[in-house]
Amino acid sequence: MKHLLLGDEAIAQGAIDAGLSGVYAYPGTPSTEITEYIQLCEKRKALSTNSVATGKIFCQWATNEKTAMEGALGMSYMGKRALVCMKHVGMNVCADAFMNAAITGVNGGLVVVAADDPSMHSSQNEQDSRFYAKFAMIPCLEPSNQQEAYDMMHYAFDLSESLRTPILLRVTTRMAHSRAIVETIDTPREQNCLSAPENTNHFILLPAFARKNYAELVESQADFVQTSEESLYNTYTKGIQTKKAFVTTGIAYNYLMEAIERLGDEVRDQSILKITQYPLPKALIEQMVVDGAEEILVLEEGQPVVEELLRGMVPSTVAVKGRLTGDLPRMGELTPDSVREALEKGKMSGESNKVVPEIVVGRPPALCQGCGHRDMYAALNEVAAEHEGSKIFGDIGCYTLGALSPFHAIHACVEMGASITMAKGAADAGQFPSFAVIGDSTFTHSGMTGLLDCVNSRANVVVLISDNLTTGMTGGQDSAGTGRLEAICLGLGVEPEHVRVVVPLPKNMEEIKQVLREEVAYNGTSVVIARRECIQTLKRHLKAKK
Amino acid sequence: MKRDIILAGVGGQGILSIATVIGDAALNEGLYLKQAEVHGMSQRGGDVQSNLRLSSDPIYSDLISKGGADIIISLEPMEALRYLPYLKEEGWIVTSSKPFVNIPNYPEIEEVIKHIEAIPHHVLLDVEALAKEAGAPLQAANMVLLGAAIPMLGINYNKIVEGVKRIFARKGEAVVAANLAAIEAGYENVNSSTLWKMYGTQW
């Protein structure tokens, strides 16, 4: 059947059709829609009376990427197929579990999807997840289009089970968030049966066992390379003219084909090595050199991973060009234009003589009108201004927009959970007052442990949990601690009289400011929970009620 | 057949619904399609755009090249201008004339309109007023804009109508009827426009 699917949805449908038993994920742009799609399918399946006799798929959001990765490893341990999804920076959060899952290997198929965000459309860096696959020494897939993304899920799970290793599937924003027609299979594969591993030593990483496992992983590398060389997803097309060659990875292939359509025969005749599976297919690269390649242009989305690796694989007489040589921009996502310019270097492209009129100004995103974060910042800014040199440490979420006009409230924002621990470090250094602003979902994701640090050293900080009862930035997914934030804070040891709750509304401004003042005056760790539902989810809830 | 379309607007205005209807119609026409969307932080009242590509042949890139767009469809006049470098020499701009002012430094609207009128192939229309006239709610203003872009899309009017019926079916007959009225209002408006009469036949 043909469907119009986002890249993320194609991945999700591919996983379902490949006999998935569970998806484990924390929301993060551009990966969120994978899990949402599976949740929607499960919801529809539950409502449908003539449901096909397939098993249920576990699809509840995880608290963070590390718990997600571990949950998936546990499901794989029991012989079932599990999927883990996250944005690129989520890989940092789950890195401990991820790296060690490469050492344990898998039982049921285990696929980890990392959605990278080059150009940082909605992220704080543009790290390239392919480094993680190389770091962990496991195979990586990078589909070049939505159909391939769908097809590859089946392949990835099979590969994972046959090679007994987790597989990393890497996509980037334009793949994840672009729709195309995808042809799907009619009958999904049955889920695996419950079956524990025959040899549990594989999963017990005592040094003595781990050394053995690691030796096996090292030994497997040659198999992984051979699998890449034989993979249908890696293709080498020898050109009529073989001196110049292109190496593409993932969606960069599309930009090359687009440019070739426009530029014609001169480039059409060159050799193309299309890579969508790693480790790099050594034999295909050697063939390209044997065929006479003297100059290779590497087109890859993200960091110059392949460009660097190729330099160590081809003779020094072969020129390897790409982002490092300035032929392509060093940072940011590729575009059809940047690729075309690299191909016709020195020539004027002259496709457009239109410019953006000077009167067109930027329109940065902003907190919604009526959003509770606004009232929280309005009160906080006033109280902070009562002390010279107040510092407010922010975190990741909609409320990061408090850094922009009109609030200009926060003085730092680094990664999930850093607000609390940075505020603590600043207080340790002698800063007063030291505030942290963190959302409810970010708090349960990575803020709770930091709060325990605060309690243990009686850090003089005021932690504001701006609780909108949802994971707002990514579109309103369930938040792990909803309804239990006070209990969590008390459980971590915050003094009951210093766990305060306010409702961020303009009419409560005086009360909120008073509460904040009292907690600034307290020499110890305070938590002020500003709780009001996200107005986006509120609108949806009211509409659903009608 | 090949159409590269840039949909523009401000987060929350409803450009993705336009894309959904066109996408559904294109799929039923047996066309190939690629549509890159913007999700995440930028949706919070910032500028948003979607690259929609239709073709009778397979499409490679998800993104449109500079100077490659046949049409810019925009729910906001200044946002239409943001993507001018992507418009083909003979391309069309179909845009709402009403500014969405959520920034303190929004330019003079007269200046914005002047720049749009400098593009030979343009359709400027007050989609909200047209929706109101047609008896459709404000939320259907985006469908007025879609109606006005139909002649440039290369997809038959009836195919778009069928798309609207399918997409909005779950929301009930009243919603379908309102959206169809909005589509018709936009379509009639552009068919009676002088510029379209002048250039449209060559298109």
Cβ distance of A336 and B61 shorter than 8 Å: yes
pLDDT at B202: 60
- How many CA atoms does the CB half-sphere of A160 hold within 13 Å? 34
CA distance linking residue A255 with residue A253, whole number of Å: 6
Which domains are assigned to chain A? 2-230 (3.40.50.970), 235-343 (3.40.50.920), 372-540 (3.40.50.970)
- Within 8 A by CB and 6+ apart from A191, the residues are A19, A20, A21, A54, A55, A80, A81
Closest-CA residue to B75 (of B102, B52, B117, B47): B47
pLDDT in tens, A167-223: 999 999 999 999 999 999 999 999 999 999 999 999 999 999 999 999 999 999 999
Of B44, B89, B107, Cβ closest to residue A367: B44
Closest-CA residue to A294 (of A243, A242, A238): A243
Q: Where are the beta strands (DSSP E) in A129-222?
A: 140-141, 167-172, 178-183
C-alpha A541, offset from chain centre: 28
Give the distance from residue B133's alpha carbon to the nearest chain A alpha carbon, in angstroms.
Answer: 26
CA distance linking residue A229 with residue A279, whole number of Å: 9
Give the pair of three-digit tokens for residue A231: 């993979």
φ, ψ for residue A4, nearest 5 deg: -95, 105
pLDDT in tens, A353-367: 789 999 999 998 889
Q: Chain A residue with minimal CA distance to B20? A: A4
- Within 8 A by CB and 6+ apart from B23, the residues are A4, A179, B33, B35, B52
pLDDT at A160: 98
pLDDT at A346: 53
Inform me whether the pLDDT recorded for B26 exceeds 60.
yes
Give the pair of three-digit tokens for residue A291: 């065929």
- β-strands A434-439, A461-467: how paired? parallel
Angle between helices A448-456 and A418-428 (to 10 degrees): 20
Beta bridge mates, A272:
A237, A246
For residue A20, the 8-state DSSP code is E
Closest-CA residue to A473 (of A396, A380, A360): A396
- Within 8 A by CB and 6+ apart from A77, the residues are A106, A107, A108, A196, A197, A203
For residue A240, the 8-state DSSP code is S
φ, ψ for residue B175, nearest 5 deg: -65, -40
First to last CA, chain B: 13
What Å distances lie between residue A456 and A431, A462, A527, B84, CA to CA? 18, 15, 14, 57
**Cβ(A104)–Cβ(A50) below 8 Å:** no
- How many CA atoms does the CB half-sphere of B39 hold within 13 Å? 26
Tokens 């209002």 belong to B185
pLDDT in tens, B105-150: 999 999 999 999 999 999 999 999 999 999 999 999 999 999 999 9
pLDDT at B2: 95
Confidence of residue B198 (pLDDT cuts 50, 70, 90): confident
pLDDT at A353: 73
Give me the sign of the Cα torsion angle A5, A169, A188, A274: positive
Is the ipTM here above 0.90?
A: yes
DSSP helix/strand/coil, A501: strand
Q: Where are the beta strands (DSSP E) in A369-412?
A: 391-393
Residues of B in contact with A246 (CB under 8 A): none
φ, ψ for residue A162, nearest 5 deg: -75, -35
Q: Is the link from the previous residue into B120 a cis peptide, with omega within 30 of 0?
A: no
Closest-CA residue to A176 (of A129, A223, A232): A129
Q: Determine the residue type at A76.
A: S
- Within 8 A by CB and 6+ apart from A498, the residues are A519, A522, A524, A525, A526, A527
Give the pair of three-digit tokens for residue A408: 């200009």
Give the pair of three-digit tokens for residue A361: 């100004």
Angle between helices A146-163 and A7-17 (to 10 degrees): 40
Q: Which of B116 and B202 is assigned the larger pLDDT?
A: B116
CA distance linking residue B71 with residue A414, whole number of Å: 40
Of B36, B38, B46, Cβ closest to residue A363: B46
Give the distance from residue B112's alpha carbon to the nearest chain A alpha carbon, in angstroms.
Answer: 7
CATH superfamily of the domain spanning B2-202: Pyruvate-ferredoxin oxidoreductase, PFOR, domain III (3.40.920.10)
- Tell me the pLDDT of chain B averaged across its residues: 92
pLDDT at A54: 63
Closest-CA residue to B74 (of B34, B25, B115): B115
Cβ distance of A365 and B41 shorter than 8 Å: yes
pLDDT at B193: 81
Q: Chain A residue with minimal CA distance to B51? A: A178
Bin B171: left if φ > 0, else alpha if -120 < ψ < 50, else beta: alpha
**Cβ(A398)–Cβ(A408) below 8 Å:** no
Cβ distance of B41 and A473 shorter than 8 Å: yes
Mean pLDDT in order along chain A per 10 residues (546 residues): 94 98 97 98 84 79 98 98 98 98 98 97 95 98 98 98 98 96 95 95 96 98 98 96 96 95 80 98 98 97 98 96 97 95 70 85 91 98 98 97 94 98 98 98 98 98 98 94 98 98 98 98 98 95 86
pLDDT at B43: 67
**Cβ(B73)–Cβ(B8) below 8 Å:** yes
Q: Chain A residue with minimal CA distance to B11? A: A365
CA angle (A478, A479, A483) in 5-degree steps? 110
Give the pair of three-digit tokens for residue A452: 């325990």
Q: Chain A residue with minimal CA distance to B60? A: A254
Q: Please check whether residue A370 touches B, CB under 8 A.
A: no
Residues of B in contact with A360 (CB under 8 A): 78, 81-82, 107
Range 101-130 of B in CB contact (< 8 A) with A: 102-108, 111-112, 115
Q: Chain B residue with minimal CA distance to A363? A: B46
C-alpha A219, offset from chain centre: 30
Please report the DSSP string for A81-133 in residue order.
EEEEEEETTHHHHTHHHHHHHHHH--SS-EEEEEEE-TT-SSSS----THHHH
